[in-house]
Amino acid sequence: MKEPLRILVVSDYRSTHTVRPEAEIFIRLLKKGHQVTVMTYAEAKYAQRFKEAGAQVINSHPNNKNDIDFRIELRKAIQEHDIQIVHFYNSKASVNGLRAVRGLKVKVCLYRGFTGHVHWYDPTLYMKYMHPRVNAIVCNSQGVANEFIKQPFIDKKRLKVIHKGHDLSWYAPIKPTSRQEFGLSKDTLLLVNVANNRKMKGIKYLLKAMNHLPTDADIKLLLVGREMDIDEHLAILEKGSNSDKVIFTGFRSDALSIVKMCDIFVLTSLWGESITKAVIEAMSLGIAPIISDIPGNRELAIDATSGLVVPRKDPKSTAKAIIRLYDDRHLLAQLKEGAKQHIRDHLNIEQTVEAYERMYYQLVN
């Protein structure tokens, strides 16, 4: 029987919803008998859950990339708890952590959940991912790993592709928002996108797709998030005849309930994202995804089985996919069920925990 692992993780656990898939990895490792020490902000909302699961929680997280006090505390924790593996989940933790572990035998893991901005000539990369002290880089999609593989000086043996799995039971208690709140019919095909508007999200291409829909089609789009109704977006709708089909809800704390009310989650992202958490959540709720074909996202859905995949920056193809599901409700029902099944089979938390445990044992052995 293998000896329990002694792991120390440094991450920002101040938001319970955002970090849940990550935090639950270590809670389940605790349940498997491993020792886990967590260093995070004193006000972290997840701290109590860690403590209840048996973790040692240290109220410390670097405030910048040169936090000497944190480095002293981290080094002390590694030595006092005889830590075998440290796992850093953000840039501040990684840069400080790699300086703190000098001379210690502990194994070092980093995390990467974003595609792009990986260049061998970037000096900051050698303070993190290409630092010689790093033993493993956990990439949350093959798309992320491929960005590293392109670089000439990266040790490809460090790259470990492990998805952040979810548990369908997390979403079972969520009840759908009533369509009456928005004056919508039960027969209306409801599209949704949840995001804070950024250029990489490609929202303008989604709105252009709406302009390609037939005016008599009973289809509505709910855009949930901040700064969606900017002048650029409104101008796009004004050029078409379907502005009445788009509803800007603004930020909603009940975003998942709104998603649960809808039929299709449409993601028109252009770059940068790996496996988009908002789409995983939608699929876990039984919502069919239409997603753009960018690295990372390609691993989210199998075309025509658990969603539809369209080219990025292609409003006509996106509109065609929407109309396809509008006309074929049987296919839509199949994709909804296929979406949940895909999460159950390929993106579940148990697979993630097993992969982490296997990787950690390989490192210490």
- Binning pLDDT at 50, 70 and 90, where does residue 264 land? very high
Provide the domain count of the chain.
Answer: 2
Least confident of 61-65, 248-252, 291-295, 355-359: 291-295
CA triple 120-123-129, angle to 5 deg: 65
H-type alpha helices, 285-328: 315-327
pLDDT at residue 275, as a whole number: 86
pLDDT at residue 41, as a whole number: 95
- Whether 299 has a pLDDT exceeding 80, the answer reads yes
- Whether 149 and 13 share a structural domain: yes
Assess contact for 33 and 178: CB atoms under 8 A. no
pLDDT (average), residues 4-9? 98
3-state secondary structure of 137: strand
- Whether 151 and 193 share a structural domain: no
pLDDT at residue 166, as a whole number: 97
**What DSSP designation does 217 have?**
S
Calculate the alpha carbon distances from 302 to 78, 190, 289, 291, 305 in Å: 43, 21, 10, 10, 5
Interatomic CA distance for residues 283 and 169, integer angstroms? 13
pLDDT at residue 147, as a whole number: 93
Q: Cβ–Cβ contacts within 10 Å for residue 9, how many?
A: 25
Indicate whether 1 belongs to any domain.
no
CATH code, domain carrying 64: 3.40.50.2000
Interatomic CA distance for residues 232 and 255, integer angstroms? 24
pLDDT (average), residues 237-258? 97
Q: What's the one-letter identity of residue 313?
A: K
**Pairing of β 107-112 and β 85-88:** parallel
Interatomic CA distance for residues 208 and 9, integer angstroms? 43
- Whether 317 and 275 share a structural domain: yes
- Whether 235 has a pLDDT exceeding 80, the answer reads yes
Q: Residue 359's domain spans which residues?
A: 6-165+348-364
pLDDT (average), residues 118-130? 94
pLDDT (average), residues 4-33? 95
pLDDT at residue 16, as a whole number: 79
- Whether 116 has a pLDDT exceeding 90, the answer reads no
Interatomic CA distance for residues 263 and 49, integer angstroms? 33
- Whether 181 and 330 share a structural domain: yes
pLDDT at residue 69, as a whole number: 97
User: For the residues of 218-284, what is the DSSP string, one character each?
Assistant: -EEEEEESTT-S-HHHHHHHHTSS-GGGEEEEE--TTHHHHHHH-SEEEE---SSBSS-HHHHHHHH
> Of 23, 9, 80, whose CA–CA distance to 52 is shortest?
23
Residue 34: Cβ-neighbour burial (10 angstroms; 0-12, 13-18, 19+)? buried
Indicate whether 192 belongs to any domain.
yes
Where is 48: in which H helix or E strand? helix 47-53
Partners of 6 in the β-ladder: 35
- Binning pLDDT at 50, 70 and 90, where does residue 117 land? confident
Interatomic CA distance for residues 52 and 235, integer angstroms? 51
- Whether 34 and 134 share a structural domain: yes
Work out whether the CA dihedral 328, 331, 336, 342 comes out positive or negative.
negative
- Whether 56 and 156 share a structural domain: yes
> Of 32, 327, 296, 310, whose CA–CA distance to 143 is shortest?
296
Interatomic CA distance for residues 332 and 268, integer angstroms? 19
pLDDT at residue 297, as a whole number: 83
For the chain, the residue count is 365
- Whether 201 and 85 share a structural domain: no
Place of tokens 């670097």: 62
- Whether 217 and 235 share a structural domain: yes
Assess contact for 179 and 186: CB atoms under 8 A. yes
- Whether 140 and 92 share a structural domain: yes
Report the share of the chain in percent with pLDDT over 70: 100
Place of tokens 């980093």: 110
- Whether 68 has a pLDDT exceeding 80, the answer reads yes
pLDDT at residue 273, as a whole number: 82
pLDDT at residue 338, as a whole number: 98
